[in-house]
Structure 1
Amino acid sequence: MVNNPKNIYSKIINKFNPKDENQANDLKKILNSYPFFQSASAYYLKTLKIQKKDAYNELLPKTSLLTVDRKVLREWLNSNDEQNSSKNSTTEKYSFLDWFDIINDEVPKVEKKLNLIDDFINKSPKIKLSNGEKSQKEIIIDSKIKDELITETLAKIYVTQKKFNKAIKAYEILSLKYPKKSSFFADQINYIKKQKIKD
């Protein structure tokens, strides 16, 4: 059992240094006593990663199971690498006038791109109908419903749309198609004719 694990863990959190071997050993002892201690497991995992120890690959799946949000764990484990890379990158400091010059240099580039887009739009060829393509009137004529496609449902739709002539024609075609139902279709035609007179 670790001597006073609360104090040791508090010291580790306050002055966490993943490169410190003593902290790694203390975290390992705490985890031996409390194997499901999630935050201690995460801290120990980070020390193993920074110190490039083989135990990192063994502890990673266990810690990820204990973690509520694995994305947060991954970001935290990789945060030190990103901080180091951001420290290494040099940021240039500019005065107000320098920024003004930089922005003015970028404006012509944007204007050039916009001009290219405008030129393309103005010069782009328009799509024209060739003589071989059908006009809209021809398409409407060709789109008339063929006799094979007429159904009882279509005839009912014609009636509800008050297209009585089309409905009568549809029922006539159906009565020729289905002679056994011809008496039913004849009744429907009579009903439609009565509706046509009322309207």
Structure 2
Amino acid sequence: SKNLVQEENISTTEEAANSEKPEPKAQIETEKVSEVVKPTSSSNVTSFINTWKSWLKIDRSEIVTPSEQDKKAAIIDKFIENNPKISPIKDDVDFIVKEKSNDISHLMTETLAQLYVEQKLYTKAIQAYKVLQEKHPEKTEEFEERIEEIKKSRNIK
């Protein structure tokens, strides 16, 4: 009976020891299984064909789809070819340069004439009022009065 009890103790301790360690053994076994390389057939033709087909698919997909920059460049090139709006400069064209003149009568206003008076540029003010008399004949009397005022103030000072 002692042998039976000892055998039961031994078997239970072995089971307890085995119950804790079987998982690592199972993991080791699965790792070994994953490392085992399956024997291949005598030729590698099928695997070569599969890799070659996948390579062809990858290569074609890159060629078929042009990048966005290529598309934009093509659109710009078509636009330039079809819609040129800038005309080239002709070499035979003679450019006529107007001589600078002191005629600023088109710029003359009553405000400018008044500024000349305030800046004590009496000669320019008188010229401005004379130009304004020609531009606005209806105000000739008013401009004559201002010219006379300028002449009087000039004589006083």
What is the TM-score normalised by the length of structure 1? 0.28
Q: Which structure would you say has the larger Rg?
A: 2
What is the TM-score normalised by the length of structure 2? 0.35
